[in-house]
Amino acid sequence: MKFAVIVFPGSNCDVDMFHAIKDGLGEEVEYVWHNQENLDEFDAILLPGGFSYGDYLRCGAISRFAKAMTGVKKAAEAGKPILGICNGFQILTEAGLLPGALMRNKHIKFMCRTEKLRVENNQTMFTSDYEAGEIINIPIAHGEGNYYCDEETLQSLEANNQIVFRYENNPNGSLHDIAGITNEGGNILGMMPHPERAADALLGSADGLKLFTSILKAWREANVINA
Using one digit for the tens of pLDDT, what is the confidence trace for 147-187?
A: 999 999 999 999 999 999 999 999 999 999 999 999 999 99
DSSP string, 12-34: -SHHHHHHIIIIII--EEEEEET
CA distance 190 to 116: 17
Say whether 67 sits in a helix, a strand or coil. Answer: helix
Average pLDDT over residues 11-28: 97
227 pLDDT tier (thresholds 50, 70, 90) = very low
Q: Is 196 a catalytic residue?
A: yes
CATH superfamily placement of domain 2-223: Class I glutamine amidotransferase (GATase) domain (3.40.50.880)
Average pLDDT over residues 175-202: 97
Q: Is 168 a catalytic residue?
A: no
Predicted local confidence at residue 57, as pLDDT: 86
- In the chain, what are the domain boundaries? 2-223
- Per annotation, catalytic residue among 86, 115, 120, 142: 86
Average pLDDT, the chain: 96
Residue 98 and residue 183 in contact, taking contact as beta carbons nearer than 8 Å: yes
Predicted local confidence at residue 224, as pLDDT: 78
Q: The whole model's pTM is what?
A: 0.96
- Residues 6 or more apart from 71 whose CB is under 8 A from it? 36, 37, 38, 39, 40, 45
Residue 122 and residue 130 in contact, taking contact as beta carbons nearer than 8 Å: yes
Q: Is 194 a catalytic residue?
A: yes
Q: How far is CA 112 from CA 74, 106, 138, 142, 210, in A?
A: 33, 14, 11, 7, 22
